Amino acid sequence: MFGGVIATVCKNAGRNQYLRKILFSWIRDREIKQLKQLAATLKASIIKEEETAADLELKARVFSFGEYKADVQDKMLVSLNKKGDGGSIGRCIGENEANLGTLQMLTVIEHQLDDLLECLERVPQAKIEQAEKAKEKERRMRMRDEKVRQQRQLQEERLQRALARAQADIKKRKLMFRSEPAPIKEKEDEDQGLIDQEKEEALYYFT
């Protein structure tokens, strides 16, 4: 009796230990996943902060008249003006019909960015998630189309290589002439001899 109780206790203890091991493994995997997500979020935040710092540094250089020379500031403004005419700044504000200066264009972009952020805060979360899903679906469709295009291109290349090999084999292969048919004259003579023999036997027996 006591042996059965001890066996049951040991069995339950083994099962509990196994369940505990699975639970710890699940918790560890979940913590690792959360840490990876946190690391990715921090990395994205660092990149964003670095871009903001670079932008602030550029503005500080432009507005620091005492520390930097005028020719350096002029070069920076010219570079930004080129970006404003046909580059990223121009794509943000559209056509520069009012012939705005570089600093004025940057001010316009800042106002537009503030307006967009305010609009984004007023958008319902469900709409944002729906837009993100639509964007992800579009990205997957583009990847699928690209994969189909690559597969089709590979098939065409394989077909071209196969045709090239077939043409090369035809050029290398020697022409083989058919052998002449065996003469049938002897067979005709043999048949004629049999016919003559049959005629002779018929004349002998029936005359």
Residue position matching structure tokens 């189909």: 148
188 belongs to a structural domain: no
Asked if residue 203 belongs to a domain, the reply is no
Average pLDDT over residues 46-57: 76
- What digits encode the pLDDT tens for the residues 85-101? 555 555 565 555 555 66
Q: Please tell me the least confidently modeled range out of 32-46, 129-143, 179-193.
A: 179-193
For residues 61 and 76, the answer to whether their CB atoms sit within 8 Å is yes
Q: Do 140 and 163 share a domain, yes or no?
A: yes
Name the pLDDT band for 122 (thresholds 50, 70, 90). Answer: confident
Q: Are residues 111 and 132 in the same domain?
A: no
How far apart CA 87 and CA 94 sit, in angstroms, is 10
Q: Are residues 109 and 143 in the same domain?
A: no
- Total domains present in the chain: 3
Is 41 part of any domain? Answer: yes
- Is 70 exceeded by the pLDDT of residue 137? yes
Confidence of residue 5 (pLDDT cuts 50, 70, 90): very low
Question: What range does the domain containing 42 cover?
Answer: 7-63
Pick the more confident residue, 11 or 148.
Answer: 148
* Same domain? 36 vs 49: yes
* In the chain, alpha helices (H): 2-63, 70-86, 88-93, 102-122, 125-172, 185-206
Helix (H) or strand (E) holding 95: none
Buried b / exposed e over 157-172, threshold 16 CB at 10 Å, is eeeeeeeeeeeeeeee
Q: Tokens at residue 24, please?
A: 């710890």
Residue 129: per-residue pLDDT? 80
d(C-alpha 187, C-alpha 143), whole Å: 75
89 Cβ contact partners less than 8 Å away, ≥ 6 residues apart: 80, 83, 102, 105, 106, 109
Q: Which two tokens stand for residue 32?
A: 């690792």
Considering the domain architecture, whether residues 111 and 72 belong to the same structural domain is answered as yes
User: What is the structure's pLDDT at 109?
Assistant: 73
